[in-house]
A and B are shown apart, each in its own frame.
Chain A
Amino acid sequence: MTDQNANANSEYLNLKVKSQEGEEIFFKIKKTTQFKKLMDAYCQRAQVNAHNVRFLFDGDRILESHTPADLKMESGDEIDVVVEQVGGSF
């Protein structure tokens, strides 16, 4: 029993997704699941267009095809959401 629990725990991560305004949403995600799933869920919940937001882990863009294992993430890690930056004039 205890072994199974440990396995289950290590298979899933709790990640904190933090918006620019400081709102936090927690997601439980499998280490081997692509981030696309999390991103879609977040965008739907926050009602934003996926093209207009970026997910950052330690300052680097997370791609849809990345998995938490790719990025060596641990439970409790924080993901920053920033909106698309544009500029042309002043």
Chain B
Amino acid sequence: MHKVKQNSTQQVIKKRSLSQLIQIVEEEIQFPDNNVTVMSSIQKQIKKTENSFVPSSGKDIGQLRKLVLNHEYYTSIDGNIITEKYIKLKRTRRAIKKQKYQQQFMFLQTQANPFSQTQTAYLQPQYFNQLQIQNMYSPALAQNLQGTNYDQQLSAFQQNQIMHLQTLPSLEQANSQIMKQQLGQQLLVPQQSLQIQQQQSMIQIQNHSQNGEYQGMVNNYMKMDRVQLSVKKDVSKLDEESESNFSDDYEESSESDQMVYEKFSYTYSYMQNDRKKDITIEHHDLKKLVPNQYLNDTIVNFFLKFFEVEILSQEMKEKVLIFNTYFMSKLAPNDQIEQLSSSSFEVINGLFEKNYQAVRRWIKEDIFEKQFLVFPLNLPEHWSVIIVCNHKNLFDQDEKSEARQQNSSENPTTIDEDDEQDQDKEIKDENSSNKPKKEYNKPCLVYFDSFGLLDPKYSNMIRLYLNKEYETKKKSTIQKNIVYNERTLPSHQPLIPRQTNYVDCGLYLLEYVENFLNDPQQILSLFNNTEFDEWIHLRWFPRCNIHKKRKFIKELLIDLSKLSKEEAAKNYQQKRANLLELKKDNASQYDEIDMEEFEDHIDEIAEYEEDYPNTQEEKHRQLLDFYMNPNFNKYDVV
């Protein structure tokens, strides 16, 4: 019976046009778990036709392929397949790139030899000007690059280079003004179609001005090549199938899910400061949890609140204050980005004073009673989060040290002994409690961003806010001059799992906060520790937590509309615990994707610098560079 059904679905798929298949997969991503057999037969079809090549179907089949991969990403049980695929893809690409680079280099070496030394000098980066690079992209080359196999393309490129080198006059002649002009006329390619390529070349030249235009040129060539390769893999058979009606059972079953979406409305109520507060999640908010959608403020605020109120332990709840997403948008609005980036303190402070008035009445709690303040940030089209930790300890510590100073002024001879005894006690305490890591209790600000951003203007605004709150609400009781600045409240950025696509940063924000508040010391103890290995092998959470989170939150909301809050929270926690249990033994793989990206980055540097120092210190420096600079975040879209 089952077999018959499967056969029939396969036949149905064969009759489908590409656009219909795309629609099926899209629906399957939005309303998953309805028909495993259909998806697997689509996958089989794609695999079967992997090596055929029809240009006309290129775009559609590429889209289908991407969707199928996307579907796998969001439905695979533990994310292992994706990690493996991703890493395999990366490694193959790197190998191909290396091989090509070597081939290019060898070729240029051999071609250069027959010429005189002055000619060889042309191969030095400084002699490559824009004009010559234009010539590398002559229409002849562009045409030859249409060839489907790599060898053809390479030989086309080489041919072009030979032509190019032959037209070059000697260095001395080229230096004379007249020859330069002649060369210009000879090599100028005025076709409009080349303009884009010229622009690309310009960009490449700018990017690689330090490393030589040659590298830029090779990179540019590779980029074209990659496009070619990706088209090459496309499939033909699926496209030509006749368009047939589809009236299958899975259509209907997904419809019932659609009904849930269209009717959905749930109001989550909780108590805060003895006042009832509500967050309403409507059907259009629920749709933000469908794969490939950006999360919105409603979902972020709901989940953070729900997590704080229903899931966090009572002990932790008292230590934490989670701000809503509007708070930082009022304090550092996106339309003030340029002004806030200004270096003038007066400008920034002026804006702060104005913006502070808008949020002055928002927070009823005493922020200095809390240990952790969570500020979600909404940058243009991006989510990240700042967590202020131990800010209270700034004046608490001051009290202690002042007390000590007072003691010491009374008994100046015994200072050292006192201090030593104190230290001894601390060490003993640690040993007795058997804690593997020393707790980090210094005031600090931790910046979590799935793209590795660390934007000082947001942390500065938060420091100004803390200062202002202290001045207006706390100073009279504490009676001390406290200033939060970069020294007293430094920013830290741990090396956390980063984003591997361009849609999930909201999920990363939620996962960062959830993990951090579950065990703050796992991150905070890093700042005690300067051990390189500890930093890079954080093993914080498996990446499947991210792509399962959409599903979990969606199911949580649907549970909440049917069950009690306690039951829904329990279900959510159970699912998450199961997932973590499944991945527990593979904790070493948690950071694998990030490490792979880093290796890629190191390789690229090694290409430019011949005697690249491979020392541990240098690698460490590069790694930090890599993590701190969003420009290095070149994850491919999974």
Enumerate chain A interface residues (CB-CB to B < 8 A).
20, 51, 54, 56, 58-61, 63, 66, 80, 82, 84-90
- Whether A60 and B381, one on each chain, are in contact in the complex, defined by CB atoms closer than 8 angstroms, is no
Q: Tell me which of A58, A63, A85, A89 contacts B267 (CB under 8 A).
A: A63
Residue of B326, B329, B358 with most partner-chain A CB within 10 A: B326
Enumerate chain B interface residues (CB-CB to A < 8 A).
267, 277-280, 282, 284, 288, 293-298, 300-301, 324-327, 329-330, 333, 335, 358-359, 361-363, 378-379, 381-383, 451, 453, 499, 501-506, 630
On whether A82 and B280 interact (CB within 8 A), knowing A89-B499, A90-B379, A90-B451, the answer reads: no
Residue of B288, B296, B504 with most partner-chain A CB within 10 A: B296
On whether A90 and B453 interact (CB within 8 A), knowing A59-B327, A63-B278, the answer reads: yes
Q: Tell me which of A56, A61, A88, A90 contacts B295 (CB under 8 A).
A: A88
Q: Within the complex, what minimum Cβ distance (angstroms) separates A16 from chain B?
A: 13
Neighbouring B residues of A54 by C-beta, 8 Å? 297, 326
Identify 13 new A-B residue pairs, CB closer than 8 A, beyond the known A85-B325, A87-B381, A89-B451.
A54-B297, A58-B362, A59-B327, A60-B277, A80-B326, A84-B298, A85-B378, A87-B382, A88-B382, A88-B502, A88-B505, A89-B502, A89-B503
Report the separation of the CA atoms of residues A80 and B333 in the bound assembly, to the nearest whole angstrom: 14
- Whether A87 and B329, one on each chain, are in contact in the complex, defined by CB atoms closer than 8 angstroms, is no
Report the separation of the CA atoms of residues A76 and B10 in the bound assembly, to the nearest whole angstrom: 66
On whether A87 and B324 interact (CB within 8 A), knowing A20-B333, A59-B362, A61-B278, the answer reads: no
B363's nearest neighbour on chain A, judged by CB, is A59
Q: Within the complex, what minimum Cβ distance (angstroms) separates A23 from chain B?
A: 14
Top 5 nearest A-B pairs (CB, nearest first) are A59-B362, A89-B502, A88-B294, A87-B383, A85-B297
- Whether B284 and A63, one on each chain, are in contact in the complex, defined by CB atoms closer than 8 angstroms, is no
Neighbouring A residues of B298 by C-beta, 8 Å? 84
Residue of A54, A85, A90 with most partner-chain B CB within 10 A: A85
Residue of A58, A60, A88, A89 with most partner-chain B CB within 10 A: A88
Neighbouring B residues of A66 by C-beta, 8 Å? 278
Report the separation of the CA atoms of residues A56 and B453 in the bound assembly, to the nearest whole angstrom: 29
- Whether A59 and B324, one on each chain, are in contact in the complex, defined by CB atoms closer than 8 angstroms, is yes
Report the separation of the CA atoms of residues A75 and B325 in the bound assembly, to the nearest whole angstrom: 27
Q: Within the complex, what minimum Cβ distance (angstroms) separates B288 from chain A?
A: 8
Residue of A20, A63, A80, A90 with most partner-chain B CB within 10 A: A90
Q: Within the complex, what minimum Cβ distance (angstroms) separates A50 from chain B?
A: 10
- Whether A87 and B379, one on each chain, are in contact in the complex, defined by CB atoms closer than 8 angstroms, is yes
Q: Within the complex, what minimum Cβ distance (angstroms) separates B556 from chain A?
A: 19
Neighbouring B residues of A59 by C-beta, 8 Å? 324, 326-327, 359, 361-363
Report the separation of the CA atoms of residues A60 and B330 in the bound assembly, to the nearest whole angstrom: 13
Q: Tell me which of A58, A63, A80 contacts B280 (CB under 8 A).
A: A63
Report the separation of the CA atoms of residues A90 and B335 in the bound assembly, to the nearest whole angstrom: 16
Q: Within the complex, what minimum Cβ distance (angstroms) separates B73 from chain A?
A: 15
Report the separation of the CA atoms of residues A41 and B381 in the bound assembly, to the nearest whole angstrom: 28
B637's nearest neighbour on chain A, judged by CB, is A89
On whether A84 and B326 interact (CB within 8 A), knowing A89-B499, A89-B503, A90-B382, the answer reads: no
- Whether B505 and A89, one on each chain, are in contact in the complex, defined by CB atoms closer than 8 angstroms, is yes
Neighbouring A residues of B358 by C-beta, 8 Å? 80
Residue of A54, A56, A61 with most partner-chain B CB within 10 A: A61
A84's nearest neighbour on chain B, judged by CB, is B296
On whether A86 and B379 interact (CB within 8 A), knowing A20-B333, A58-B361, A59-B363, the answer reads: no
- Whether B506 and A88, one on each chain, are in contact in the complex, defined by CB atoms closer than 8 angstroms, is yes
Report the separation of the CA atoms of residues A61 and B451 in the bound assembly, to the nearest whole angstrom: 29
Report the separation of the CA atoms of residues A90 and B288 in the bound assembly, to the nearest whole angstrom: 18
Neighbouring A residues of B297 by C-beta, 8 Å? 54, 84-86
Report the separation of the CA atoms of residues A21 and B326 in the bound assembly, to the nearest whole angstrom: 15
17 inter-chain pairs at a CB distance below 8 angstroms, sorted by A residue, are A54-B326, A59-B326, A59-B359, A59-B363, A60-B277, A85-B297, A86-B294, A86-B296, A86-B381, A87-B295, A87-B382, A87-B506, A88-B293, A88-B502, A89-B503, A90-B381, A90-B505
Report the separation of the CA atoms of residues A54 and B504 in the bound assembly, to the nearest whole angstrom: 23
Neighbouring A residues of B382 by C-beta, 8 Å? 87-90
Report the separation of the CA atoms of residues A88 and B298 in the bound assembly, to the nearest whole angstrom: 14
Neighbouring A residues of B504 by C-beta, 8 Å? 88
Report the separation of the CA atoms of residues A87 and B453 in the bound assembly, to the nearest whole angstrom: 14
B383's nearest neighbour on chain A, judged by CB, is A87
Neighbouring B residues of A51 by C-beta, 8 Å? 282, 284
Neighbouring A residues of B300 by C-beta, 8 Å? 85
Neighbouring B residues of A86 by C-beta, 8 Å? 288, 294-297, 381
B502's nearest neighbour on chain A, judged by CB, is A89
A70's nearest neighbour on chain B, judged by CB, is B276
